[in-house]
Amino acid sequence: MLKNYFKIAWRNLIKDKTFTVLNITGLSIAFSVAILLAMAGFFDLSYDKFHANLDNLYKVYSIQQTPKGPEASTSHPAPLLEALKAEVLGVEKASRFLEDEAIVSFGEKEINMDAVWVDPDFFSMFTFPILKGEMNNPLEKRSSIVITESSAKKLFGSSDPIGQTVQIMINGKDQPFTINSIVADNLPQSTLEFELAIPFENEAEYQYNKDAWDSSYHNVYVQLANGVLPEQFEKATRSLVDRNLLEQIENAKRDGAQTNTDGRFYKYNILPFIDVKFTKFRDGYAKVSRSTPYLVLGIAFLILFIACVNFINMSIAKSGQRLKEIGMRKTLGAKRKQLFLQFWSESLFIFTISIVLGLVLSVLLIDQFKTIFRTAVSFNLVMSPIIILSFFTAVLFITILVGGYPAVLLSRLGTIQSLKGKLDNSGKNRVRNVLIITQFSIAILLISGTLVLRGQLDFMRNKDLGFNKEQVLSFPLDGKKDSYNALELLRNELADNPDILKITGADNNLGLGRDGSASSSIYGFEYKGRGINTNYLVVDYDYVETLDLEVIKGRNFKRGFANDSLSVVINETMAKEFGEENPLTAYVNAEDSVKYPVIGVVKDYHFEKLDKSIQPITMFLNNNEDLYYAYVKVTPYNMSKSYDAIEKAWAKIEPNAIFLGSFLDENINRTFRKEEKMTKMITTGSIIAIVLSCIGLFAISLLIVAQRTKEVGVRKVIGASIANITFLLTKDLLKLVGISFLIATPFAWWFMREWLQNYPFKIDLSIWFFIASGLLATLIALLTVGVRTLKAAAQNPAKSLKTE
């Protein structure tokens, strides 16, 4: 019996090749895109889930009350770790965590590695599998280090690295360390990334800051005992806050800050480690949002939904062609159950072919998908038995639901009604219309999102950031030479090159360079009886000129002015913090009670991402602190040639360092990766949604034209024009697109307004975004339906009237 169902199903599908091809094409594309998008979404949601102690791991953050409101921070003082372990009940393990780069030397080899300074508990808290060496406590000794497998191969080749001594440059001096363990390479879905782990006590500033509660510069992670809640941790830390942070509390009171709901000025909270990847600190609170991966999964679902709607619509629309077949089967004794199984087997047949084709397409397209969307997804991530079982269960459910509805509808028809070949279409048309409206509403929603996202992305890319981003190249000052000496050597090497205009340096990069590093330093000081916080930036001479920053008061640092090393240049926002009518009368208090006078004010510029408002910044000319990035301003004429010249010059100065230069506009674009990824995915979803909707619309238009062929002939005989007939055949479908626009626009406006709230600098949410999406959807629908209707309207009426 089952064999007979599939045999008849095959014959029916072959008989109507057009609808079979359209159904399989639409479903195959939908399954392929849905599989790839779902993999990307689940990949993002899988971040850090491989840690065995995940349920008990937390990241510590502080909330300090200020006159401007609460401020949250994940940077902490060095003595906090020991205080937490000694005084807070429930803290089983804890580790500091500081990321930086380290130059590692072994023999002739010299490699710049991504290093982390951590405590001995780190490798028992987090699951980074140890492949070789000390398994239990690899960082117990201060001179021991842990290296990843791939980094060990770079440094030692095929030799055994365990027990080998390497030199690591710290504070400008090579220090010996012994490789104690090798760990597996970091998984792509790991928030904590490193190539080398070093005991925290070796960190350059540790000895100076180990007892300082007023210097925060690293993260802290804790592992709590089973059953200990975050609320208990906060209450348990109150005594150590009151004892060790008394100065900060008194300053907050003096400056007029308001206490929190618990009556406190300063407190420690913890964030579940599983949420770290998805957390932003705003308005003094940790805000966790997994909106991006859920949005990706939502788009995958919507695309699959549209394809299923197409299938249902085409199945219902075709039902009129099979009425006599149903009547004959019922006359010969077929039961409703048998009819249901017959029609459902046809649906199952189409779905099976579509799923196989969809899987094949997803395999063929995965490499391009990974490149376009900058993701490390792979089929290995979804090959677990649970996910495979869930996938096939979902497919079975979809086939039963989507294929079952038309099957139920057809199997319920009466015998006489079927044999007459007549059917009341009002109910079917209502269902069809609702489904068409639904899928076009989704398509218009996605198109609107695409237009707004692209508008915001273009706005951020083209916004005047207050500095020259097109002609300035930056690169990390990797190498063993003193950063100031290296810059001077670079100036000498390029002095005769007319395309090189200015060379300078700073301790931080603008945007995100090729090294992937980003950092900031906050400095607090007392000014006339109140506290002021500012971003701290160490620069070299010519920094302002190289970036074309605009000096609006005073002057920039200049060679020949000996006291400039004890002066500062600030931005407009920092000038407002002083509250002085003339900011050039203000000064910055240093830790040694030395006053650094303000000698210049530059116009505000965006030194952070555009999802942040411009903050105060103070520039210091301090030769006692290293520079980490070089900036080179070039002429706009031979930029490629200039890049090569800079790379060649740097190779002479630091032959063992890798040149990671990029222009600032590239750096800025890298900071938009999240927005770019989201825009690409929604654009792709919009295109696929429109294509699938049009496939369904085209198929339905074929059926409508076929059903009204004789009517078209009669109308032409009595004088109807081609334009009148075309309008008659398309108006109902275009009306549905119009209703879809009215339904989708309010939802699109609300979603995009909420999303834009994340940006202090954003586009205006103009009505034209939504009008354009509606017109685009209407135009595409008109072209889809118009091709077939024009052909029908132009047909010879004699031929139309002969059609039965």
* DSSP category for residue 47: T
On average, the pLDDT of the chain sits at 83
Q: Identify which of 78, 803, 12, 118 has the alpha carbon closest to the alpha carbon of residue 349.
A: 12
Q: Identify which of 796, 797, 751, 762 has the alpha carbon closest to the alpha carbon of residue 447.
A: 751
> What pLDDT is recorded for position 804?
47
**What is the per-residue pLDDT across 555-570, written as a single tens digit (0 to 9) for each?**
999 988 888 889 999 9
**What is the per-residue pLDDT across 130-175, written as a single tens digit (0 to 9) for each?**
999 888 889 989 999 999 999 999 998 888 899 999 999 888 788 9
- Amino acid letter at 747? F
How far is residue 540's CA from residue 558's CA, in Å, rounded to a whole number?
10
Task: Name the token pair of 63.
Answer: 């909330």
pLDDT above 50 (res 426)? no
pLDDT above 90 (res 590)? no
Residue recorded with tokens 């509403």 = 441
> What pLDDT is recorded for position 412?
59
* DSSP category for residue 539: B
**Phi/psi at 235 (5° precision):** -65, -35
Is 187 buried (19+), middle (13-18) or exposed (0-12) by CB count in 10 A?
A: middle
**What is the per-residue pLDDT across 753-796, written as a single tens digit (0 to 9) for each?**
888 887 888 888 888 888 888 888 888 877 777 666 666 555 65
> Do β-strands 530-538 and 617-620 pair in parallel, antiparallel, or remain unpaired?
parallel
> What pLDDT is recorded for position 708?
60
> Are the CB atoms for 314 and 297 separated by under 8 Å?
no
Task: Name the token pair of 525.
Answer: 């000081």
Expressed in angstroms, the distance from the first to the final Cα of the chain is 35
> In the structure, what pLDDT confidence band is assigned to residue 9 with cuts at 50, 70 and 90?
low
Q: How many other β-carbons are positioned within 10 Å of the β-carbon of residue 176?
A: 9
Is 153 buried (19+), middle (13-18) or exposed (0-12) by CB count in 10 A?
A: middle
> Are the CB atoms for 631 and 549 separated by under 8 Å?
no
pLDDT above 60 (res 320)? no
766 dihedral zone (left: phi>0; alpha: psi -120 to 50; beta): beta
Return all residues near 114 (Cβ < 8 A) that are at least 6 apart. 99, 101, 193, 194, 195, 196
> In the structure, what pLDDT confidence band is assigned to residue 587 with cuts at 50, 70 and 90?
very high
- Amino acid letter at 283? D
* DSSP category for residue 527: E
> What pLDDT is recorded for position 196?
94
Return all residues near 361 (Cβ < 8 A) that are at least 6 apart. 28, 29, 31, 32
> Do β-strands 91-106 and 216-224 pair in parallel, antiparallel, or remain unpaired?
antiparallel
Domain borders along the chain are 91-224, 436-463+674-804, 479-659
Handedness of CA 150, 156, 157, 158 (dihedral sign): negative
DSSP per residue, 11-40: HHHHHTHHHHHHHHHHHHHHHHHHHHHHHH
pLDDT above 50 (res 382)? yes
**What is the per-residue pLDDT across 333-363, written as a single tens digit (0 to 9) for each?**
556 666 666 667 777 778 888 888 988 998 8
> What pLDDT is recorded for position 419?
47
**What is the per-residue pLDDT across 108-121, written as a single tens digit (0 to 9) for each?**
888 888 899 999 99
> What pLDDT is recorded for position 676?
83
**What is the per-residue pLDDT across 48-100, written as a single tens digit (0 to 9) for each?**
999 999 999 999 999 998 888 888 889 899 999 999 999 988 899 999 999 98
How far is residue 595's CA from residue 205's CA, in Å, rounded to a whole number?
23
Task: Give the distance, in angstroms, between the CA of residue 405 and the centroid of all CA atoms in the same chain.
Answer: 38
How far is residue 361's CA from residue 562's CA, in Å, rounded to a whole number?
68
> Are the CB atoms for 722 and 794 separated by under 8 Å?
yes
Taking the complete model, does pTM exceed 0.75, yes or no?
Answer: yes
Is 284 buried (19+), middle (13-18) or exposed (0-12) by CB count in 10 A?
A: middle
Q: Picking from 60-64, 704-708, 744-748, 758-762, which range would have the lowest pLDDT averaged per residue? A: 704-708
**Phi/psi at 600 (5° precision):** -160, 155
Q: Which residue has the higher pLDDT, 733 or 103?
A: 103
| Run of H or E residues at 524 | strand 522-527
> What pLDDT is recorded for position 705?
62
pLDDT above 60 (res 332)? no
> What pLDDT is recorded for position 691?
81
- Amino acid letter at 282? R
**What is the per-residue pLDDT across 653-701, written as a single tens digit (0 to 9) for each?**
988 888 899 999 999 988 888 888 888 888 888 888 888 877 777 766 6
> In the structure, what pLDDT confidence band is assigned to residue 316 with cuts at 50, 70 and 90?
low
Q: How many other β-carbons are positioned within 10 Å of the β-carbon of residue 538?
A: 21
- Rg of the Cα atoms in the chain: 34
> In the structure, what pLDDT confidence band is assigned to residue 267 with cuts at 50, 70 and 90?
very high
**What is the per-residue pLDDT across 596-644, written as a single tens digit (0 to 9) for each?**
999 999 999 998 888 788 899 999 998 888 898 999 999 988 899 999 9
> What pLDDT is recorded for position 8?
60
Q: Please state, for a pLDDT cut of 90, what percent of the chain lies above it.
A: 31
Return all residues near 15 (Cβ < 8 A) that are at least 6 apart. none
Which residues sit opposite 109 in a β-bridge? 106
> What pLDDT is recorded for position 210?
87
Mean pLDDT, residues 497-505 taken together: 93
Task: Report the length, in residues, of the chain.
Answer: 804
pLDDT above 50 (res 733)? yes
Handedness of CA 281, 285, 286, 288 (dihedral sign): negative
Mean pLDDT, residues 538-546 taken together: 93
> Are the CB atoms for 694 and 781 separated by under 8 Å?
yes
